[in-house]
């Protein structure tokens, strides 16, 4: 298997959805190809970076405040009309 | 006290008319929904609208949610749908025609997969990179470099961990297309981030074949 062919299987390999036979070929190639090893490893790091960083993207406070305000307002409308409060 | 309750318990209370329970759910998920909307839309006002509409839609339909423990997943589905509607509107196309616009022959995309150019391990682990404010900014910028159709698939599949099938359904494209776009997105991001965080030049393996 060549690096070029590896590229097409990369997604399935990383997602653990690769055909077992192909997986064996893939891993045999990687064992002797530091380039492909690093590509796989740094793709995994790329995914980890965004997955773990998801909650580090801060929600600005004014946006949060407006959100809660809208919800309270809508809640009042919805339930006040039902219960007459 | 409400903060210690499970989603299921909070949903039950909210369904019975407890606003405090509902707000606790909102606080629990707002950052996640914000991140989703912001990263898909790359626009503060549009993202804020999607966040508000997501929770207002949830409020409106809360009585229909039987399994309260699924609240987070349910919310995510609503948010993805709403965000996608904004993307569709931006293209000035009715949602139904989006299929035609977005579907591409997966084979054609596959033949043009970007080959890795810069191959080097990174100086720091993802955990270490996330500790620093300046690298967080670079990480966010890297994502903004991606063309929209790749960024959206990457975020839904790799960050939100939506299955391929659900992603395909949400975007109205084939599963094969989701896979190709995801691979392209990962390769492009990896390349970009390696440029930023890659180890010293002497360790870089240049393209040989």
Q: Each residue of B73-125: pLDDT tens digit?
A: 999 999 999 998 998 888 765 544 445 445 554 544 556 788 888 899 999 99
CB pairs under 8 A between A and B: 132
- Residues 13-42, chain A, touching B (beta carbon < 8 A): 14, 34-35, 38-39, 41-42
Cβ atoms of B175 and B92 within 8 Å: the answer is no
Q: Which domains does chain B have, with CATH numbers?
A: 1-90 (1.10.1740.10), 100-209 (1.10.10.10)
Q: Name the residue among B31, B125, B182 with its Cβ closest to that of A59.
A: B31
What is d(CA B26, CA B129) in angstroms, rounded to the nearest whole number?
29
Cβ atoms of A11 and B109 within 8 Å: the answer is no
Cα B64 to Cα A76, B11, B33, B57: the distances in Å are: 19, 11, 20, 11
Residues 6+ apart with CB under 8 A from A80: none
Residues of chain B with Cβ-Cβ distance to A52 below 8 Å are 126-127, 130
Cβ atoms of B15 and B63 within 8 Å: the answer is yes
Q: Where are the domains of chain A?
A: 3-83
Q: What is the pLDDT of residue B96?
A: 47
Cα B159 to Cα B36, B86, B136, B189: the distances in Å are: 9, 20, 16, 13
Q: What is the pLDDT of residue A18?
A: 93
Q: pLDDT, tens digit, for every residue of A9-60?
A: 999 999 999 999 999 999 999 999 999 999 999 999 999 999 987 767 789 9
Q: What is the pLDDT of residue B100?
A: 46
Q: What is the pLDDT of residue A75?
A: 95
Cβ atoms of B11 and B25 within 8 Å: the answer is yes
Residues 6+ apart with CB under 8 A from B57: B78, B82
Burial class (CB in 10 A: 0-12, 13-18, 19+), B45: exposed
Q: What is the pLDDT of residue A83?
A: 53
pLDDT of B58 higher than 70: yes
Residues of chain B with Cβ-Cβ distance to A4 below 8 Å are 115, 209
pLDDT of B206 higher than 70: no
Q: pLDDT, tens digit, for every residue of B140-193?
A: 899 989 998 899 999 999 999 999 998 998 888 899 999 999 999 999 999 999
């Amino acid at each position: 298997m060549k690096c070029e062919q590896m590229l097409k299987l990369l997604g399935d390999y990383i997602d653990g959805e690769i055909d077992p036979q192909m997986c064996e070929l893939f891993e045999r190639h990687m064992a002797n190809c530091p380039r492909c090893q690093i590509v796989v490893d740094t793709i995994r790091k790329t995914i980890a970076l965004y997955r773990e960083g998801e909650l580090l993207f801060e929600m600005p406070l004014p946006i949060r405040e407006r959100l809660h305000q809208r919800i309270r307002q809508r809640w009042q409308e919805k339930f006040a009309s039902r219960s007459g409060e | 006290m409400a903060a210690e309750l499970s989603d299921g318990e909070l949903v039950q209370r909210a369904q019975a008319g407890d606003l405090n329970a509902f707000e606790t759910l909102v606080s629990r998920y707002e950052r996640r929904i914000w991140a989703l909307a912001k990263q898909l839309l790359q626009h503060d006002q549009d993202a804020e609208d999607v966040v508000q509409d997501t929770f207002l839609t949830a409020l409106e339909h809360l009585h229909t949610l039987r399994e309260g423990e699924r609240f987070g997943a349910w919310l995510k589905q609503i948010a993805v749908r709403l965000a996608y509607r904004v993307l569709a509107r931006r293209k000035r196309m009715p949602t139904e025609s989006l299929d035609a616009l977005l579907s591409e022959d997966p084979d054609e995309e596959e033949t043009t997969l970007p080959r890795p150019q810069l191959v080097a391990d990174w100086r720091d682990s993802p955990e270490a990179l996330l500790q620093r404010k300046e690298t967080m900014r670079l990480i966010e910028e890297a994502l903004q470099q991606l063309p929209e159709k790749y960024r959206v698939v990457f975020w839904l599949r790799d960050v939100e961990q939506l299955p391929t099938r659900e992603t395909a359904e949400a975007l109205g494209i084939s599963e094969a297309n989701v896979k190709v776009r995801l691979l392209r997105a990962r390769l492009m991001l990896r390349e970009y981030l390696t440029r930023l965080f890659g180890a010293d030049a002497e360790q870089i393996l240049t393209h040989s074949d």
